[in-house]
Amino acid sequence: MIDVNKIRSDFPILSRKVNGQDLVYFDNAATSQTPTQVIDVIIDYYSRLNSNIHRGVHKLSQEATEAYEIARIKIQKHFNAAKPYEIILTSGTTEGINLIASGYSNLLKPKDELIISAMEHHSNIVPWQMLCEKTGAYLKVIPMTLEGTLNMKAFGELLNKKTKLVFINHVSNALGTVNPIVEIINKAHANDAYVLIDGAQACPHIKPDLQALDVDFYVTSAHKLCGPTGVGMLYGKAELLKLLPPYQGGGEMISTVTFEKTTYADLPHKFEAGTPNIAGVIAFGAALDYMNDIGFDSIAKYENELLNYATDSLQKIDGMKIYGEAHNKTAVISFNVGKIHPYDLGSILDQLGIAVRTGHHCAQPIMDFFEIPGTVRASFSFYNTFEEIDRFIAGVDKAAGMLQ
Ligand SMILES: *Cc1c(COP(=O)(O)O)cnc(C)c1O
């Protein structure tokens, strides 16, 4: 059970006023808010531990290194990876995808095929296009249905002996659709292709078991699950990560350096060049603790109630069109009202203290598919309330009256 009043008292920003009104924060799919339990870890790090990790003989460095490696193990346990060194700490989802794309530039041949879907975030499209330009491989796209799900029959037809890699988001940030990744992974493996799952939008709502999924690579960002910005993780099966060359050269990723030849460090350090976001990684661990204390089952159940309540109420508004009507979706609602431009609607909501996102949500191909310039997107978290949804619905109703 979610005790939402108690939870809200953990988030200082939720008691802020915006334009003279109590803030209603419905932009959780872009970034989530940060509880005191996580903010305190960052303050504590800079107040007590700050030093560089892994290289120091002194006490501060040892303590900071220990806290950093404990966070890695927390992340490993949370996602149920087999080994801590299969968790590469990155600056976020975008960097994790670029790391894999850049690594495969040596391993692909011209005319190899890669598969993505029509509902990817730009960060899971552009790195693969760049990889195709470098290698001469082709990018194939799984089409979407009108209700905002993947056409799985078409996926089966795209797979063939030339398919090397498949990249799909676990949950679409623009539509909320939960994709059938078990089926995707199994079909790809039956075809000897590897799979990378972009979990940025799934991890705030779902706790993935990476060994059970048998997925090859999985990436996510801390800032969407109550952690700080600029931190994330890339999971990869050890035997696959070992085949990839380092992503960046620098300190920490080497074993020995001479001007004749440099040898690289083992996993995970081979992929962690330079001084990382130490406080951020430790805070990522604290964010996972915080969310696990509440429990992902309770979070999913409560958010689903918010989603159903908001969907039912929105549908009563004249001219309402919701994009993304998959049976299995997270608490994201993308919509338009009549011919009103999403930006105009979003601006009026902002005047009322209600934060939503408007535009293409870094997923332009989805907007092209629906032949719209963009949508208004409201996305809920476990710290949102039914009263906030009432205020939001009244705001949309008012804005629609003014603009139509
Ligand atoms: C947010 C998001 C990303 C990008 O995450 P960054 O933290 O900006 O790297 C990628 N994919 C999806 C599905 C997202 O929701």
For the segment 169-219, what is each residue's pLDDT rounded down to a tens digit?
999 999 999 999 999 999 999 999 999 999 999 999 999 999 999 999 999
pLDDT > 90 in the chain, percent: 94
pLDDT surpassing 90 at residue 253:
no
Best of 32, 97, 100, 121 for a ligand 1 pocket test (most atoms within 8 Å of beta carbon):
121
- Give the model confidence (pLDDT) of 304-325 as tens digits: 999 999 999 999 999 999 999 9
Write out pLDDT tens, residues 372-391: 999 999 999 999 999 999 99
The ligand 1 atom nearest the CA atom of 123: 10
Domain span at residue 329 reads: 4-28+295-403
Distance, CA 122 to ligand 1 centroid (Å)? 9
Q: Residue 9: pLDDT above 90?
A: yes
Closest CA to 279 of 235, 233, 228, 223: 228
Cα distance between residue 3 and residue 24, in whole Å: 18
State the distance from the centre of ligand 1 to the C-alpha of 94, rounded, in angstroms.
Answer: 6
Active-site annotation, residues = 362
Range with the poorest average pLDDT among 51-65, 148-162, 349-363 = 51-65
Of 252, 267, 292, which marks where a domain is finished?
292
User: What pLDDT sits at residue 118?
Assistant: 96
User: Residue 384: CB within 6 Å of ligand 1?
Assistant: no
Helix, coil or strand: residue 28 = coil
Q: Is the CB of 221 under 6 A from ligand 1?
A: yes
Report residue 232 as tokens.
């994330």
Q: Is residue 347 part of a domain?
A: yes
Residues 304 and 163 in one domain: no
Cβ atoms 26, 332 nearer than 8 A: no
Q: Cβ contacts of residue 153 below 8 Å, gap of 6+?
A: none
| Confidence category of residue 56, pLDDT binned at 50, 70, 90 | confident
Same domain, residue pair 110 and 252: yes
**Number of separate domains in the chain:** 2
The tens digit of pLDDT for each residue in 88-111 reads: 999 999 999 999 999 999 999 999
> Is residue 346 within 8 Å of 357, Cβ to Cβ?
yes
Between 251 and 151, the higher pLDDT residue: 151
Boundary-marking domain end, from 292, 314, 347: 292
Determine the atom of ligand 1 nearest the C-alpha atom of 229: 7
Q: Nearest CA to 266 among 291, 294, 246, 288?
A: 246
- Global pTM value: 0.97
Last residue of a domain, one of 238, 267, 292: 292
CATH of the domain at 314: 3.90.1150.10
